[in-house]
């Protein structure tokens, strides 16, 4: 999938790399949050010691900021998207010619994985499709 960058996105891209010194792969600017996807191995550098870079970005942008690590391996990328939660299993299948990921989690954590109004899983679906062509994520 081709990712297009406009002037505002390029400004955020530059700001992120200047503040964190981490290599950025992708970003999404939403009304209430900004999502950054950093190159493999750069999550720690992006967040910073004591989350200093994350806090700084939140203050500068006056929005919630989320940082995810990219992975060339689609399974690892899905795991990175749900890094806050322990996933029991990630599997892939084809449904009507479309690749779908099944994510198995502890039933007690299912609500948090999905997020309020499906917000977390929707973001994960969008990023998984954008970077690996995985069109859907089913949380079990």
Domain segments of the chain as ranges: 7-69, 74-139
Please name the fold of domain 7-69.
GMP Synthetase; Chain A, domain 3 (3.30.300)
Question: What's the CA gap between 61 and 44, in Å, rounded?
Answer: 20
pLDDT (tens, 9 = 90+) of the chain, 140 residues, equals 556 668 888 999 999 999 999 999 999 999 999 999 999 999 999 999 999 999 999 999 999 999 999 999 999 999 999 999 989 999 999 999 999 999 999 999 999 999 999 999 999 999 999 999 999 999 99
Sign of the alpha-carbon dihedral angle for 118, 95, 134, 7: negative
Distance of CA 34 to the CA centre of its chain: 10
Question: What's the CA gap between 19 and 99, in Å, rounded?
Answer: 36
Q: Are the folds of 7-69 and 74-139 the same?
A: yes
- Overall CATH class of domain 74-139: alpha beta
Name the one residue in this structure whose structure tokens are 């690996």: 132
Please provide the DSSP assignment of 67-124 as one string.
Answer: EEE--SSHHHHHHHHTTTS-EEEEEEEEETTEEEEEEEE-GGGHHHHH-GGGHHHHHH
């Amino acid at each position: 999938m081709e990712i297009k960058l406009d002037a505002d996105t390029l400004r955020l891209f530059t700001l992120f790399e200047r503040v964190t010194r981490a290599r950025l792969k992708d970003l999404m600017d939403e009304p209430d949050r900004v999502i950054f996807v950093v190159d493999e191995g750069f999550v720690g550098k992006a967040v910073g010691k004591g989350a200093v870079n994350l806090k700084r970005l939140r203050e500068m942008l006056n929005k919630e900021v989320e940082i995810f690590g990219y992975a060339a391996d689609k399974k690892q990328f899905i795991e990175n998207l749900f890094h806050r939660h322990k996933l029991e299993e990630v599997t892939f299948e084809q449904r009507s010619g479309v690749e779908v990921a099944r994510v198995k989690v502890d039933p007690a954590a299912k609500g948090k994985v999905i997020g309020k109004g499906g917000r977390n899983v929707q973001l994960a679906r969008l990023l998984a499709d954008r970077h690996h062509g995985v069109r859907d994520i089913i949380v079990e």
